[in-house]
Amino acid sequence: MAESSFTSALSPAASQANYDPLTKKLRAGASYATTRPSEDVDTSDRPSEDVDRSDDFPTSFKFGASIFDAWRRPEPVARSDFPPSFKFGASSSALQTESYATEGRRGHCTWDEMLGDLPAVHSLILHFLVQDTTKGPHSINKQGVDFYNRLLDELNHNGIMPMVTLCHFDVPSALQKKYNGILGRQFVNDFNDYANLCFQLFGDKVKHWITFNEPSVYCESGYQYEMTGKDEPAIYPYLAAHHLLLAHATSVKTYRDCYQKQQNGKIGISLVTAWFLPYSGSCHDIVYLDPIVTGDYPFSMKSIVRDRLPQFSSEEKKMLEGSYDFIGVNYYTSRYTRALPFSPNDIPVSYAKDQYVEMLTEDKDGVPIGPQSEGMEFMYIAPKWLASILVNLKTKYNNPLIYITENGYPQLIQDKTMEEICDDQVRIDYIKDHLVSIRTALREGVNVDGYFSWTLMDNMEVKGYYYTIGFGLHHVDIPNDFERFPKKSAFWYRKFLSGKRAPLLSEPIIAKEPIMEPINAKATV
Ligand code: BGC
């Protein structure tokens, strides 16, 4: 079974027709799950080759089922598979969607500096930033406040629950210049002041706050090399992470002490995740998750990083412990991992090297972890591992409340016609397959309460892709006055959501994948 990891996503016929083994990519125009007969009923069971119990296996051979068998079942995914209170939506970020840094007194943030002053799309968004970065953290941008008040009123008026991220990589450049941004201890208080301001100004309209988006991306990518220009990759990511965690915990404390009771909201953080095979059992953001659950860094991290890792005081540990009402999970792809040799005498090189792990996209037979996406070469589509992440979070962290705050498909849009861009069947398949994975997790008792597709509309993509790819449910025709066009996926999503509601199906799951021991998680809200 050379196609083992593909059989879960592609039927043999589809895989032969659409997958090019030489380039290890989908053939042009191929959707990775093309065998489905209709848009809203997914009846493909993604069969592997025929096998026979009596011919192919000894009589003593043991068979069981893992949670992944549920994912393989030919059951269509429907709105009714999710509890009525389950939230569906689409996410976006101000930096990637809103405007030039010079417009509306937004001011520059560190990402503008890396990317240049690019046009972005004016739109309704669900994640945003409010501050006058031209003046510094203690000033209020009246224009921004008015804009977001109107936006929030409009969303609430239309029955859309806003879930707001306070910082999606967009730390003001002014703070970067003043004290090296997040590398400066002062960032903790400045972020807390800014968060306090947002709770005060918008807390009556916002019931879900996210302090930071993907801290690991910000601290690791930003502070290993790119942001500082200084070569301290074995130190800066830890310092940045340390301050970010304290800024998170301090603002959660502020919210809980001063606002939560009257405003009746929740607060959490969004972490990027990936499932690692075969040595798995760990989520990518354990560096961030363990401290906010237990109040300290994981033992493995402390023992490798040793004196390069800043320490929390006992008061800080107390503040960090349990500093979340929910965990946001961003999921795009997964990886195979291979351990690298470790010696206590190794000279520290970088944050990445400290992990002593090599991340691979293919297994030992050269089979990719999933089909490669069209628009981002490193993004392999691997929906079933989302269930593993969610079950692992449940087991290890005392079943926290979870929202899938980002999950989306990068579509190549450069040099394509409007018709080609809007015909995004591949995105529909992508969303469906991830919903199947979430359904599996729900049946395993995971406390997942919402799914947000990244992103509402094509926007400026980070990592140098700019406007060449689109994650959107809608396309934005930038040269033609930013006109928006719903893609096929937007229509599908609407139809899916209007499906009848029914109780969650219960299905027996016989055995589970091995997962890690629970750590001492403190129950929160
Ligand atoms: C980030 C988004 C980004 C998306 C796709 C996520 O990690 O939060 O800002 O657009 O990935 O690359």
> pLDDT (tens digit, 9 = 90+) per residue, 115-151?
554 443 332 222 333 444 444 445 677 777 888 899 8
Q: Residue 399 forms beta bridges with which residues?
A: none
Q: What percent of the chain has pLDDT over 70?
A: 70
Closest protein CA for atom 2 of ligand 1: 462
Decide if 426 contacts 409 (C-beta within 8 A): yes
Alpha carbon distance 212, 167 (integer Å): 5
Residue 452 in 3-state DSSP? strand
Closest CA to 207 of 144, 265, 280, 161: 265
Torsion angle of the four alpha carbons 319, 256, 448, 95, in this order, in degrees rounded to the nearest 10? -90
DSSP string, 350-363: -HHHHT-EEEESB-
Q: What percent of the chain has pLDDT over 90?
A: 51
Residue 408 Cα to ligand 1 midpoint, Å, equals 9
Residue 404 in 3-state DSSP? strand
| Nearest ligand 1 atom, CA 95 | 9
Q: Which of 214, 220, 321, 374 is catalytic?
A: 214
| Nearest ligand 1 atom, CA 465 | 12
Quick one: pLDDT at residue 242?
97
Quick one: pLDDT at residue 144?
78
pLDDT tens-place values along the chain, 525 residues long: 222 221 122 222 223 333 343 443 433 434 343 223 233 333 333 333 445 555 556 666 655 544 444 444 446 899 999 999 999 999 988 878 765 666 655 667 766 665 554 443 332 222 333 444 444 445 677 777 888 899 899 988 988 889 999 998 888 878 888 898 899 999 999 999 989 989 999 999 999 999 999 999 888 878 876 565 666 889 999 999 999 999 999 999 999 999 999 999 999 999 999 888 764 444 456 789 999 999 999 998 999 999 999 999 999 999 999 999 999 999 999 999 888 888 989 999 999 899 898 899 998 888 899 999 999 999 999 999 999 999 999 999 999 999 999 999 999 999 999 999 999 999 999 999 999 999 999 999 999 999 999 999 999 888 789 899 999 999 999 889 889 999 999 999 999 998 854 444 443 332 344 333 444 444 332
Quick one: pLDDT at residue 170?
81
Quick one: pLDDT at residue 31?
39
Closest protein CA for atom 10 of ligand 1: 461
Q: Would the CA dihedral through 39, 42, 43, 47 be positive or negative? A: positive
Residue 462 Cα to ligand 1 midpoint, Å, equals 7
Q: Catalytic: 406?
A: yes
User: Pocket of ligand 1, candidates 127, 379, 454: which has the most ligand atoms within 8 Å of its Cβ, to mutate?
Assistant: 454
Quick one: pLDDT at residue 72?
47
Alpha carbon distance 137, 87 (integer Å): 33
Residue 165 Cα to ligand 1 midpoint, Å, equals 13
Residue 461 Cα to ligand 1 midpoint, Å, equals 7
3-state secondary structure 276-342: EECCCCCCCCHHHHHHHHHCCCCHHHHHHHHHHCCCCCHHHHHHHCCCCCEEEEEECCCEEEEECCC
Quick one: pLDDT at residue 267?
98
Torsion angle of the four alpha carbons 328, 330, 336, 340, in this order, in degrees rounded to the nearest 10? -60
- Summarised one tens digit per residue, pLDDT across range 420-432 is 999 999 999 999 9
C-alpha angle 206-210-212 in degrees, rounded to nearest 5: 145
Q: Which of 316, 374, 406, 461 is catalytic?
A: 406
Quick one: pLDDT at residue 387?
95
Quote the pTM value.
Answer: 0.79
Burial class (CB in 10 A: 0-12, 13-18, 19+), 55: exposed
Alpha carbon distance 214, 168 (integer Å): 8
Alpha carbon distance 220, 350 (integer Å): 10
If you average pLDDT over every residue of the chain, what do you get? 78
- Summarised one tens digit per residue, pLDDT across range 211-244 is 999 999 888 878 876 565 666 889 999 999 999 9
Closest CA to 461 of 386, 415, 411, 424: 411
Residue 513 Cα to ligand 1 midpoint, Å, equals 29
Burial class (CB in 10 A: 0-12, 13-18, 19+), 139: middle
| Nearest ligand 1 atom, CA 459 | 10
Residues with CB under 6 A from ligand 1: 93, 96, 213-214, 217, 272, 330, 406, 454, 461-462, 471
Residue with tokens 């707001």: 164
Quick one: pLDDT at residue 382?
95
CB-side exposure of 252: number of CA atoms within 13 Å?
28
Overall residue count recorded for the chain in this entry: 525
Structure tokens belonging to residue 58: 């000894």
Decide if 461 contacts 409 (C-beta within 8 A): no
| Nearest ligand 1 atom, CA 213 | 8
Residue 347 Cα to ligand 1 midpoint, Å, equals 32
Quick one: pLDDT at residue 425?
95
Residue 127: DSSP 8-state = S
User: Pocket of ligand 1, candidates 288, 331, 462: which has the most ligand atoms within 8 Å of its Cβ, to mutate?
Assistant: 462
